[in-house]
Structure 1
Amino acid sequence: MARITKEPSERKQEILDTAIKLFYENGYEKTSITDIAKHMNVAQGLCYRYFPSKENLFDSAIDYYAQTLVDKMSTIIDNADKTLKQIIEEVPIFIDIETDDNLYYKVCHGEKSKKIHDQLSLKICEKLIPIVKKQLELANSRGEINIPDIDTTTYFCIYGQQGILLRKDISNNEKAEKICSFLSYLMNI
């Protein structure tokens, strides 16, 4: 059998996607690096070349999915042409940014996935910090808001939403309305 050579980024993504598929089908605990390599029909060492452990591979998959979601959110948030008020009013658009038609979503939102979902949520928050901070600084410089402590406000705006976003007793529309209303109140806009 001929050896198939792929670009490192392509191979890494293939390993991540295969791992997520097997994590979804068999569960994280019951999936090994050996299982992933066998499923891909490659040597186990190839997986270890990119990921030193199953835990590192899983963390990388969560990081990849978080970045994918943040990239989608950035199209709304990271826009110097919009006012902060306009950005806040578009919060409902990215409340439903995740779709349940991919395995990354299914792994992070399954019945037994609370810890995984929490890890994803925190990773998204971490990745949003510089984007939101930049927008708050821009709004401050334009005189749209008058906030002396942008760092604290940034962290509060991002991590403070988690309590609302994780609620199961209200719809996504209600979540969006509550977040939008509170952020507008907080920013006095």
Structure 2
Amino acid sequence: MQLKKKDVQMAIQETALELFYQKGYFKTKMSDIAKQMNMSVGNIYTYFKNKDELFDTVITTDTVDYIEETIVNLAKTCNEYHLGKDTASIDDAIEKYLRVIVNNYREVVIILDKSEGMVYEKKRCSIIEKIIEVRCSTGLRPSYIGSSFEVRKKFDKIIINGIFDVILMGLKEDTATSEERYELCLALFKFQIGKNYDSYPKA
């Protein structure tokens, strides 16, 4: 039975999402998507005029905003942990936000790690800057960092980049089931925040 146009369009988008995740935007060609779909490149272009348009339907601005908000909220929750707020509710919040990240793992990897050549190429940097602003606004700093504001910012930037890299490695564990990926990322995240931010007195 012939597939409806909408079904074909959705199948192209799903295939493109997987290839953007595996290869990145820059290295993925429309011919790669066509080959994976077992259809001609010309047929792909009847649905999407170019790769940019296809990418924009796969990774929408709403998706990017939602993921960015989730990551920043996760950072805010970590701040609450370091400020000594209710541990149980904080654990619940961390698990909720990480579940969102894992459920959208391909989109997260593309946005933070594989959007070279696209408008979101610097999105990772802008998210990190927002997290640093959040941390600075609370006055949180590790006990072994001096009073220099610039040193504290550079310290946070390096540490946050490291946490991003570790979580991205967990998200890319393609042999893991969805639940295994979640448990792995949760364990990695809790290990990282415990290791890097074990002592955060109020500044």
TM-score (norm 1): 0.52
Structure 2 counterpart of 1:118, one-letter code: D
Q: In 1, distance between residues paired with 2:70 and 2:11?
A: 23
Which residue number corresponds to residue 72 of structure 1? Answer: 70
Is the 1:24–1:107 Cα contact (8 Å) retained in structure 2? Answer: yes
Aligned equivalents of 2:111, 2:74: Cα separation in 1: 26
Q: RMSD of aligned C-alpha atoms?
A: 4.7
CA distance in 2, matches of 1:171, 1:160: 16
Q: Percent identity?
A: 8
1:154 and 2:167 matched:
no
Deviates more, 1:16-25 or 1:177-186: 16-25
Match of 1:58 in 2: 55
Code of the aligned partner of 1:131: K
Q: 2:113 aligns with which of 90, 102, 118?
A: 118
Deviation at 1:68, TM superposition (A): 2.3
Over residues 108-159 of structure 1, what are the superposed CA-to-partner deviations in whole Å (9 max), with x where a residue is unaligned?
Answer: 59xxxx8887326x8663232232121122122xxx4365233312311321
Q: 1:95–1:172: 8 Å Cα contact kept in structure 2?
A: yes
- For 1:98 and 1:172, locate their aligned partners in 2 and report how far apart those are by CA, in whole Å: 9
Q: Which is further off, 82-91 or 162-171?
A: 82-91
| C-alpha distance in structure 2 between counterparts of 1:98 and 1:36, whole Å | 31
In the alignment of these two chains, the number of paired residues is: 150
In the superposition, relative to structure 1, how do residues 37 and 157 fare at CA in structure 2: closer, same or farther (>3 Å)?
A: farther
Instruction: Classify the secondary structure of the residue corresponding to 1:96.
Output: helix
Out of 20, 33, 46, the residue aligned to residue 13 of structure 2 is 20
Gaps of 5+ in 1: 1-15, 39-43, 48-52
Question: Could you list the runs of 5+ residues in structure 2 that have no partner in the other structure?
Answer: 1-8, 21-27, 35-40, 116-120, 177-182
Letter in 2 for 1:69: I
CA contact (8 A) 1:19 1:36 kept: no
Distance across 2 between alignment mates of 1:134 and 1:25: 33
CA distance in 2, matches of 1:106, 1:158: 18
Aligned with residue 164 of structure 1, among 156, 163, 166 = 166
1:95 matched to 2:132: no
Cα deviation for residue 37 of structure 1 reads 4.0
Does residue 131 of structure 1 match 2:130?
yes
Distance of 1:160 and 1:67 partners within structure 2: 22
Give the structure, 1 or 2, with the largest relative contact order (CA under 8 Å, sep 6 or more). Answer: 2
Q: Partners of 1:33 and 1:154 in 2: how far apart?
A: 48
